[in-house]
Amino acid sequence: MQTRTLAQAEEAQAMGYQALADESAAAWNERVWDRVAVTVESEDEFDALALHFAQYHLYVMTPAHDNRMNVGAKGLSGEAYKGHTFWDTEMFILPYFNFTDPAIAKSLEEYRYLSLPGAHKKAASNNYKGAQFPWEAAWLDDGEVTPVWGAADIVTGLPTKIWSGFIEEHITADVVYGLWQYCTVAGDQEFMDKSGYELMMDTAIYWVSRMTEKEDGKLHILDVVGPDEYKEHVDDNAFTNYMAHWNIKKAIEYHDLLKVEKPELFAKLDAKLGLAEAYAQWTGALDRIFLPQPHEDGVIPQNATYLQLKDIDLTKYKNQDHVGSLFDDYNLEQVNQIQVSKQADILLLFLLMEDLFDHKTKQANWDYYEPRTLHDSSLSLSTHCILANDLHDTELAYQLFRRAAAIDAGPDMKSSSAGIHAGSVAGIWQCAVFGFGGVRMLGGKLRIRPALPKAWSRLDFSLYWHGQKLHVVQTPGSVTVENLTGTAPVEMELVGEQISLTDSVTRSL
């Protein structure tokens, strides 16, 4: 190994700087800039720079060469979080590769399948069944690697316990959602057969074992942390419950499909997972899982107690110069008793499961939760940007995009001292393509419904769908989608119209 490394170094030295630079530029052009670059014509050139910045980091920080590895929360730019993998991969980073580089997306999903031993270890340690994915993941069979203790409590001076590794459990459904999204966008049936169905069912077994029946006859998920990490030890976090319900429902769907269409694969999974017993538990649980419903004002409780907590004036913290200023005045125990959110929680459901909620419900919850969300997590702004655009507030969406883009590429020289924010960087791409570009995968189908901000006169990007490469060009007045591969028609919804795309189509906006 040492000799080979030395030989490579000598070869590079012999080539010289310019030759190496030219070789690198050619490789980048072939892999990214000439293939899937996002370009935008904007009143401010920073917008285009931010998108290129995002795509650059997404490629350099992703270990595409080895499916035993995944993306660290700080990429390769810092040692914070010790290189551990979070839900950032499935919710923010994976969607980029699903639509632009399915081979890399597959490698990231293979990592989750290969790490099932660690997920089994964590479930067993908590006296649960099935596969429970760790909040922070490292080597395949490590299981949970989240540190137990964090910074000192501002009030007591004692170390603060990090509860995420113990009770932030939505990660298990997040992993499965990412798997489903990858296989659907890529059309990768082979991976579903080899790994996907097993992951879906193994995690569904976990969720049923995790639930508690209460006096109302419903199954509840108690004592968790949802995406909003300012609310610890809560019951019935809406995001967690809805995602677990989705996970189990999908397992039932695929169980029925395999039993009829792929009996040999079904028999193999039955022998491995005990599907007869599992299926009975899934079907018995599905309609009994407690799913928080909108109140009369349309607001869905983020958890069992959020709407009863103290409501304070958050203006000072919404206008903060640095994230986390809330903790200059309160400790985490006190924050847990205030109607304030670190980041998008229930609102994220409106992006992942858009077709489950009507516009009125989305607007009511946006009006309630957005003023109470401080975006103290870098993952929050991109979700809010996309939802603001969905709710037809394009001006606010653009402001949120600009704030998200400035986290690592903006004027604050200290924002990335511990490393870039990998999930947030991917969120910049999502703002442009999912938000302003209107691209969405809903119910297994592709939809494009753009709405550009006033500052943009053109948005140009490419994406892959079921092996077909699509080129999309949007202006304030039109959208053109071209099937560059053309080997198979792409069924999709374009600006409200169902089309079968074989070559090129333009629609007015």
Three-state DSSP at 175 gives helix
Give the integer Cα–Cα distance in Å for 107 and 113. 10
- Hey, is 210 helix, strand or coil? helix
Residue 490 DSSP symbol? E
Among candidates 304, 310, 317, 299, which has minimal Cα distance to 333?
Answer: 310
Would you call 133 helix, strand, or coil by DSSP? coil
Euclidean distance between CA atoms 383 and 345, whole angstroms: 10
DSSP string, 427-476: HHHHIIIIIIS-EEEETTEEEE-----TTEEEEEEEEEETTEEEEEEE-S
Q: Rounded to whole angstroms, how far apart are CA atoms 51 and 42?
A: 12
Burial 251-275 (b: 16+ CB within 10 A, else e): bbebbeebbeebeebbeebbeebeb
d(CA 37, CA 389): 22
Query: 3-state SS string over 361-420?
Result: HHHHHHHHHHHHECCCCCCHHHHHHHHHHHCCCHHHHHHHHHHHHHHHHCCCCCCCCCCC
Q: Is 229 a catalytic residue?
A: yes
217: left (phi over 0), alpha (psi -120 to 50) or beta: left
| Nearest-angstrom CA–CA distance, 404 and 410 | 9
Look at phi and psi of residue 317 and say left if phi exceeds 0, alpha if psi is from -120 to 50, else beta.
alpha
Among 136, 229, 232, 370, the one annotated catalytic? 229
Chain-centre distance for alpha carbon 249: 20
Helix H segments across 101-196? 102-114, 116-125, 164-167, 171-186, 189-191
Residue type, 459: L
**Which residue numbers are catalytic?**
229
